[in-house]
Structure 1
């Protein structure tokens, strides 16, 4: 594990949020269930709009320099009125929540991502935030591998790259 469990979950959920379309409240509900967000969830169009707006605010994290990341993280923490508290719920051990469970979903997600980014910046690990290397993909990813070698997102790009490389090798052999 590179970071604390809650930090890794927040980073991975942020990457998925940036990469997803969230076409409707049902897709947002699936996202919340998948990433096990607790607290208030309205299921409304307004909540969906708030999370979609957050998505575009988080995307720059994968391209800013350290000073830019720090500025955005501090803005998110300030706007979310973050007040970190240790909590334990469900089967999770103690971890940080920095907003009350009744805060709007977009605020809770924003602060959770910002808190995770605090760890990334403090550890000097911004290079773990990457954009998929597959041509014309553009999805973002968080490289949590020990050797910092992840190059492709979770949308199947790694498999497509491997197939393309195989076909290129095969074509080169048949040309020879």
Structure 2
């Protein structure tokens, strides 16, 4: 295992949040209902206001997190530290629902975007401390700019999970090889 389970979950949630805007800029979090479905899929718990301000704050967080995929180590540290400072993070071990012991650094009553940002920041702390920022990648498909985190042991993940990018690339390469022979 590269990172602790809750760190990997938080990293995947950050990836999935960033990828709620597709390559053409199509918004995947248009309504509070979209946000509800996203949070349910990600099994994100805690209080909610279910209003447009909450949705807007999550979209703002998404933009901030997206910058990590192009950031230098120093810039990534500045963003992560900023998120932790803003939430006045106080890491604590918690157990809830079907989750065993894991870290939370805010209260369940903190605003949603603050909790999401803090969870992501705590996960990125491990990525930065482990000198693993190179695991943050942009999809290798020519027509996709979705982000991904490569958690494979051999560092071989090149394509996102948002569509069929890997399959399309493999089919294209196969057809090119067939055409050449």
Give the TM-score of the pair, scaled to structure 1.
0.96
Q: CA offset at residue 42 of structure 1?
A: 2.2
1:98 match: 105
Off by >4 Å, runs of 4+ in structure 1: none
- For 2:168 and 2:136, locate their aligned partners in 1 and report how far apart those are by CA, in whole Å: 21
2:170 match: 162
Q: SS at the partner of 2:96? A: coil
Q: Number of aligned residue pairs: give it.
A: 173
Structure 2 stretches lacking a partner, 5+ long = 21-27
1:1-176 map, 5 Å: 1-20=1-20, 21-154=28-161, 155-173=163-181
Q: SS at the partner of 2:103? A: strand
Structure 1 stretches lacking a partner, 5+ long = none
Q: CA offset at residue 87 of structure 1?
A: 0.3
- For 2:143 and 2:86, locate their aligned partners in 1 and report how far apart those are by CA, in whole Å: 34
After superposition, the C-alpha distances for 1:99-141 in whole angstroms (9 at most, x for unaligned) are: 0001110000000000000000111111110011111311100
Q: CA offset at residue 23 of structure 1?
A: 1.5
Which stretch of the first structure deviates more once superposed, 162-171 or 100-109?
Answer: 162-171
Give the TM-score of the pair, scaled to structure 2.
0.93
Which stretch of the first structure deviates more once superposed, 37-46 or 138-147?
Answer: 37-46
State the superposition RMSD in angstroms: 0.9
Q: CA offset at residue 98 of structure 1?
A: 0.3
